[in-house]
Amino acid sequence: MSEPFRTRRFEPVAPELRPRRHREAARVVVTDRRVALMLADTDPGLPGTRWWVTPGGGIDPGETPLAAAVREVAEETGLLAEPDQLLGPVAVRTVVHGYSDQVLSQVEAFFVLVVDNPFDVVPGGLTPDEQITLDGWDWLPLAGIDQLPHPVWPANLAEIAALATRPEAWPVDLGVVEESTLPVE
């Protein structure tokens, strides 16, 4: 078994020597249907890298994807949502992230949380690694989000948000994708 994800060192490793890790994760598209709350993430091993990502993270042992989604939203945004406020999982996928110090493969369940209005983000439980890598947050427009200067992960964020209105289709299988600061191959 590989080391847990939370043991990162953030020191570049030769691409062929990067350790490979696997986990299950829950991600949440927090939206008022016009904008989505996105976190700016970085790879300290590759200075200058930046991308946008939805709130979410690893599922702890014994935790359901829904419970992990609720916990991650609280930790990363300060919003205390009730489980019945989250829709889904609306989509699932396997994503491979190539970072400067590791390759992470994770099976993700996406939930949608519709809020009345954008709120002030007050992270209350960032992990030590998140305190190093996270570089802010913003409410970004769903229309044209693919035109931003920094990558958005998942690239099909607007499509995932729109699934909230199609419960008969849940969960949509989005397949396997790669989102990397340093390509895996």
Q: Are strands 172-178 and 86-98 parallel, antiparallel or unpaired?
A: parallel
Q: What residue has token string 């609720």?
A: 70
**pLDDT > 70? residue 5:** no
**pLDDT > 80? residue 178:** yes
Q: Count CB-CB contacts under 10 A for residue 13.
A: 16
Identify the band that residue 7 occupies on the pLDDT scale cut at 50, 70 and 90. low
CB 26, CB 109: distance < 8 Å: yes
Rg (CA), the chain: 16
Please report, to the nearest 10 degrees, the dihedral formed by the alpha carbons of residues 25, 26, 27, 30 taken in order: -160
Domain boundaries, the chain: 5-178
**pLDDT > 70? residue 3:** no
pLDDT at 10: 84
Mean pLDDT over residues 20-27, rounded? 96
CB 157, CB 144: distance < 8 Å: no
pLDDT digits (tens, 9 = 90+) for 95-135: 999 999 999 999 999 999 999 999 999 998 998 889 889 99
Of the chain, the percentage scoring pLDDT greater than 90 comes to 86
pTM: 0.94
pLDDT digits (tens, 9 = 90+) for 126-164: 988 898 899 999 999 999 898 999 999 999 999 999 999
- The CATH classification number of 5-178 equals 3.90.79.10
pLDDT digits (tens, 9 = 90+) for 45-90: 999 999 999 999 999 999 999 999 999 999 999 999 999 999 999 9
Return d(Cα 125, Cα 18) in angstroms, integer.
28
